[in-house]
Amino acid sequence: MISRIKGTQDILPNEILKWQELEQVIRNVSKLFNFTEIRTPIFEASELFHRSVGETTDIVKKETYDFEDRGKRMNTLRPEGTASVVRSVIENKLYADEFLPLKLYYYGPMFRYERPQKGRQRQFHQFGAEIIGSDSPLADAEIINFAATFLEALKIKNVQVRVNSLGDTESKENYQKALKSYLDPNIKHLCEDCNRRYLENPLRVLDCKVDKGSEVLNNAPKPYDYLSTKAKVHFEQVIMALDSLGLNYAIDKNLVRGLDYYTHTVFEIDSDLATLGAQSTLVGGGRYNNLYSSLEGPDLPAVGFAFGVERLLLALESVNTVEEKSSIHAYFINLADVFQTDALKIINDLRHGGLIIDYDFFNKNLKGQFKQADRLNPKFYLIFGEEEAKKQVINVKSLETKEQVEVSLDNLYQYLVNEITGKHCGGGCDSCDGC
């Protein structure tokens, strides 16, 4: 038997409803904040990710899925969404003045070759958003508020925003000098990867998962303490905006995030939900003012975030303690030959009216049909046989009230709609005088 590849998963029919509901919340909240969707290819030229994410990052050095196509071109399955959005904005010239700022969101599969773990597979899904073309601190606050509001819409409470600033180019250069000077006598006490990062990009040492919490890293100089005057003003205005929004936040001077392209504001939002385990971060993001120009695009400041969808679904397991069973509107119980009656036409007419109807394909007896119906959790049974066909009626039984009424076929659709929406039946059944 051929099995699925390690680090991938099948999303089975009994699981898909929670994915669809989450995707609907993504669309709804994005619309509230006036973000429009963009969809980019699943694979891109490898150079795009090497230049944007960073040659020295673990993502590029260890985790990307790279392959050579038949034209001898190197391609990479996208490991994150921002770089592809940047490429698309530049290539399609979406940065025309009349369109700025762009407010875009994306949703789809990403790929990283890393150890599969709870809530994170080698093929995983991200929901991300970007504000492109504005360097205003208000854009930083807007993107953080968008992320927090999305979690609120999912009923995920008790979250905290952690926020920091890496500063502008001048700030980062001054900080890297101070950090390298500090690490020089201490780097031998850190892991092998940290020793490599120290030579390639000292800032990446602070993002180490192995030595996180060590005395060496805890006592290291902080980016916040090396901000230029301009960068400090920008961050202060971001904090003022977060205060105005009433968001629960804390300044975390140790926060750096894991991608090379970040400048100024970086943030993460954490939750203490039990189903998340030790990995409490639900979303991360920040500002990246130099990424567009580094990819031969215009000088466009931008800020964004990305959620891991699988981690969100884990979080929702703590929130949704009662699992709702999916249901259909009605199951058609056929007591006669469907080819000799109007059964198929009745079913089709109801479906065309927007009702979810199912029926038996195995020519089961009455007991078997009811058993199959119960698996689908219908709101109604529609019971139809030769006698009903002659009289042009159908028996409708409610699974909630256990009551059964005879309804004319002409009034069947309206009767079901009224019952489902909680309105009066309107006299469509033979057992009442018109409600």
pLDDT of residue 33: 97
Tell me whether residue 68 is in a domain. Answer: yes
Residue 248 lies in a domain: no
**pLDDT tier, 105 (very low <50, low <70, confident <90, very high otherwise):** very high
Question: Is 6's pLDDT higher than 80?
Answer: yes
The reported pLDDT for the residue numbered 143 is 98
Are 152 and 277 contained in the same domain? yes
Query: What does the pLDDT read at residue 65?
Result: 94
In degrees, rounded to 5, the angle at the alpha carbon of residue 112 between the alpha carbons of residues 109 and 114 is 135
User: In the prediction, which pLDDT does 264 show?
Assistant: 94
SS (H, E, C) the chain: CCCCCCCCCCCCCCCHHHHHHHHHHHHHHHHHCCCEECCCCCEEEHHHHHHHCCCCCHHHHHHCEEEECCCCCEEEECCCCHHHHHHHHHHCCCCCHHHCCEEEEEEEEEECCCCCECCECCEEEEEEEEEECCCCHHHHHHHHHHHHHHHHHCCCCCEEEEEEECCCHHHHHHHHHHHHHHHCCCHHHCCHHHHHHHHHCHHHHHHCCCCCCCHHHHCCCCHHHHCCHHHHHHHHHHHHHHHHHCCCEEECCCCCCCCCCCEEEEEEEEECCHHHCCCCEEEEEEECCCHHHHCCCCCCCEEEEEEEHHHHHHHHHHHCCCCCCCCEEEEEEECCCCCCCCHHHHHHHHHHCCCCEEECCCCCCHHHHHHHHHHCCEEEEEEECHHHHHHCEEEEEECCCCCEEEEEHHHHHHHHHHHHHCCCCCCCECCCCCC
Is 227 part of any domain? no
pLDDT at 431: 45
Residue where one domain finishes, among candidates 297, 319, 341: 319
Flag whether pLDDT at 370 surpasses 90.
yes
How many domains does the chain fold into?
A: 2
Same domain, 31 and 146: yes
Looking at per-residue confidence, does 210 or 106 come out higher?
106
CA distance 151 to 316: 10
**Does residue 121 have a pLDDT over 70?**
yes
Give the pLDDT confidence score for residue 433 in this predicted structure.
43
> Do 151 and 24 share a structural domain?
yes
What integer best gives the mean pLDDT of the chain? 89
- Alpha-carbon distances, residue 93 vs 96, 107, 136 (angstroms): 6, 21, 22
Token pair for residue 150?
Answer: 């999305």
**pTM: predicted TM-score of the whole model, two decimal places:** 0.85
Among 63-77, 97-111, 261-275, where is mean pLDDT lowest?
261-275
Residue 293 lies in a domain: yes
Does one domain contain both 332 and 312? no
- The CATH number linked to 403 is 3.40.50.800
The CATH number covering residue 43 comes to 3.30.930.10
Q: Which of 284, 319, 354 is the endpoint of a domain?
A: 319
Per the structure, the complete domain to which residue 353 belongs is given by 328-421
Which tokens in the block code for residue 144? 């953080």
| Residue 72 located in a structural domain | yes
Per-residue pLDDT for 371 more than 80? yes
Range picked from 44-48, 158-162, 221-225 for highest mean pLDDT: 44-48
pLDDT of residue 278: 63
Q: Is the pLDDT of residue 42 over 50?
A: yes
Cα–Cα distance measured from residue 380 to residue 332, given in angstroms and rounded to the nearest whole number: 9
Regarding whether 128 and 109 lie in a shared domain, the answer is yes
| Per-residue confidence (pLDDT) for residue 328, from 0 to 100 | 95
Q: Which residue has the tokens 């051929």?
A: 2
Phi/psi region, residue 34 (left: phi>0; alpha: psi -120 to 50; beta: rest), is left
Asked if residue 350 has pLDDT above 70, the reply is yes
- Report the b/e string of 374-386 with b at 16+ CB within 10 A: eeeebbbbbbbbe
Q: How confident is the model at residue 418 (pLDDT cuts 50, 70, 90)?
A: very high
Residues 128 and 65 in one domain: yes
Averaged over 46-70, what is the pLDDT? 84
Query: Quick one: 290 and 386 in the same domain?
Result: no
